[in-house]
């Protein structure tokens, strides 16, 4: 069992470390995570489309999600579900005939990124259309916020109901929509946790619970705690055209002696 004091120390050291390497106010980096919030179903579905392809190698094949707007009726999940229903091949054909993405589109390869992605797009549209309006979606999300133990139920349900949207991607989608109770336990955060002895195994669910607990301890939303660790682990706190420097190993080497004394 990792002590609460060790978790608090890890977060505070990570935040101080980030401020030192970023050379700017950490709150500037956290502004989107802390304050951005979706306000209609089109943005909900757009965020879904972005998170759905947020896995290793897929963005290079799918390209700019915004280019798919004409085929998804301005990212309207109800109209998209109504048009294509469960027939992913119809949507696949429409995109292939009207768009040239960076990666190949081969309908015969069941495990290809485009097949997986389009199945997920339609599955997500059907899921959202069942909730009806944006208010319906908000109420659905709020239904899991009544207790910390219930929070993980939402990404678990999303994983079960939406094709290709695993637990981490479900957390990513919720976080990027502004639901700050949700943190995405991605590779950078998981690696820090494992190398610092916070978790023993590559367990996204346990890491999700740990991030939520850290948030309660330090008085921050779990999404903010997650983002601080992610910035340190990924080094992606500079504009897109700037080279990325990895600081994860340096942080682990720096913080482990401190944690050993806690």
Return all residues near 17 (Cβ < 8 A) that are at least 6 apart.
232, 247, 251, 254, 255
57 φψ region: left (φ > 0), alpha (ψ -120 to 50), beta (else): left
Q: In 3-state terms, the chain is what percent helix, strand and coil (to 5)?
A: 65, 0, 35
Residue 27 to residues 33, 86, 100, 223, Cα–Cα distance (Å): 10, 43, 39, 13
Residue 158 CB partners (closer than 8 Å, separation 6+):
127, 165, 170, 173
Which two structure tokens, joined as six digits, stand for 221? 């939303």
Cα dist. 33→16, 27, 183, 199, 225 in Å? 18, 10, 10, 24, 10
pLDDT at 243: 55
pLDDT of residue 242: 58
**Contact of 121 with 81, CB cutoff 8 Å:** no
CA–CA separation, 73 vs 53, rounded Å? 19
Q: Mean pLDDT, 10 residues at a time, over the chain (262 residues)?
A: 95 96 88 96 98 92 97 98 94 96 92 95 97 96 89 95 95 96 93 95 92 97 97 81 74 97 92
Is the separation of the CB atoms in 61 and 113 below 8 Å? yes
43 in Cβ contact with 8 (< 8 Å): no
pLDDT digits (tens, 9 = 90+) for 129-145: 999 999 999 999 999 98
């Amino acid at each position: 069992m990792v002590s609460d004091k060790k978790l608090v120390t890890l977060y505070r050291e990570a935040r101080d470390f980030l401020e030192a390497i970023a050379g700017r106010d950490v709150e500037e980096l956290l502004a989107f995570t802390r304050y951005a919030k979706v306000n209609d179903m089109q943005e909900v579905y757009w965020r879904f489309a972005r998170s759905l392809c947020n896995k290793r190698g897929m963005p290079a094949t799918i390209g700019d999600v915004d280019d798919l707007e004409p085929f998804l009726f301005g990212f309207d999940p109800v109209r998209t579900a109504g048009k294509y229903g469960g027939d992913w091949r119809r949507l696949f054909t429409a995109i292939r005939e009207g768009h040239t993405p960076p990666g190949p589109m081969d309908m015969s390869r069941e495990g290809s990124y485009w097949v997986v992605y389009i199945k997920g797009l339609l599955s997500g549209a059907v899921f959202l259309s069942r909730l009806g309006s944006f208010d319906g979606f908000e109420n659905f999300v709020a239904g899991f916020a009544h207790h910390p133990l219930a929070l993980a139920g939402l990404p678990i349900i999303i994983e079960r109901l939406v094709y290709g949207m695993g637990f981490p991607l479900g957390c990513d989608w919720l976080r990027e929509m502004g639901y700050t109770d949700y943190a995405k336990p991605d590779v950078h955060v998981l690696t820090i946790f494992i190398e610092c002895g916070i978790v023993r195994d590559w367990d996204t669910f346990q890491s999700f619970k740990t991030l939520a607990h850290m948030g309660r301890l330090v008085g921050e939303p779990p999404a903010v705690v997650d983002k601080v660790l992610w910035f340190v682990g990924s080094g992606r706190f500079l504009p897109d055209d700037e080279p990325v420097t990895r600081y994860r190993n340096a942080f682990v080497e720096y913080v482990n002696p401190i944690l050993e004394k806690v």
